[in-house]
Amino acid sequence: MTSRIDQISNKVFRVEQLNPDVPDRYILSRLKFSRSSTVLDKKDAEFYRKCVNRAKSLCLSRGAYAIFPISQTSQSAVSFGKNEKIESSSIAKFLNAYSHIVLMATCSGSQIISEIESTIKAEEGAKALIMDSAASEIVDIAMDELGEIARKALLSCGLFMGKRRFSPGYGDLGLDQQILFHRLLELDKIGISVSQSFQLIPEKSVTAIAGASASQIQTETDLGQ
C-alpha cells in the first residue's frame, strides 16, 4: 500500500501564481534606509510608492517544489530520490537529521528585469534602484510563500519541514548545483534557465533546499545558512 508521502515524493509541483506581501520595511532596509533616522518627505514618499507599485505590477511570481526521500548522508554528500546526489559537506551537515530533502525555486518573471534595464538606459538611477530592491524582496517573500505551501503538503503526510533554507552559493554548495535544480524542478516550465556561469535567468530567481522529518528538529539553528 502506497503511503501519502510516497504519493507526493519525486514529483514536481508548480504554483503558477504566488502573491507575496512585501512589507515596506524590507525594501527600505535593502535600500539602506534607517528606520530610526531616515524620513521621506511627501515628494520622495510618492516617488518611492510609485516605483514600488510599478515593480509589484511587473513581478509575476511563480514557483516549483519537489520532495525526495534521502537514501544516504555522509560527511560530504547527500544521496536522494532516484540516484541523485549533492556533494557538499555543508548540505550533508544541514540535512543530517532529516529524512527528506525539499527543493524549491521561485522567480518574478522577465518583465521586471526588462523594465529595470530600460530604466537604467534612461539614466533613471533612483527609479531603477528602488524597483530592483523591491523585486529582490518580492522574490524572497515568494520563496517564503512557496515554503509554506510545501510545508502544508508535508504536514498532511506527517512530516515537518524545517524553518531554515540553504541556497547555492553558501558554504561549499556551488552555483553549479543550479543545473540540478533546473533539471529536477523542470524550471524551464516556469520560465527559468541557467547561464553558462550557472546564474539563474531571469535574475530575480531564487532556489533553496530545506529538510523534512517525521519529528521537528530542535537544533536546526545550528544547521547551516
- Name the residue with cell 503511503: 3
CB neighbour burial string for 76-94, b if at least 16 within 10 angstroms, e if fewer? eebbbbeebebebebbbbb
Query: What confidence tens digit (pLDDT) does each residue in 160-174 have?
Result: 999 999 999 999 999
Backbone angles phi, psi at 86, to 5 degrees: -115, 120
Query: Up-side HSE of residue 7: CA atoms within 13 Å toward CB?
Result: 9
Average pLDDT, the chain: 91
Query: What confidence tens digit (pLDDT) does each residue in 25-37 have?
Result: 999 999 988 766 6
Please say if the pLDDT value at position 3 is more than 80.
no
In percent, the amount of the chain with pLDDT more than 70 equals: 93
Please say if the pLDDT value at position 222 is more than 50.
no
* pTM score, whole prediction: 0.90
Q: Work out the burial of residue 170: count CB atoms within 10 Å of its CB; fewer than 13 is exposed, 13-18 middle, 19 or more buried.
A: middle
Give the CATH number of domain 4-215: 3.40.109.40
Please say if the pLDDT value at position 224 is more than 50.
no
Domain boundaries, the chain: 4-215
Q: What span, in angstroms and rounded, lies between the C-alpha atoms of 18 and 61?
A: 5
Across-strand partners of 103?
Answer: 66, 209
Compute the average pLDDT of residues 188-213. 96
Please say if the pLDDT value at position 54 is more than 60.
yes
Given this model, what pLDDT does residue 35 score?
67
Query: What confidence tens digit (pLDDT) does each residue in 62-90 have?
Result: 999 999 999 999 999 999 999 999 999 99
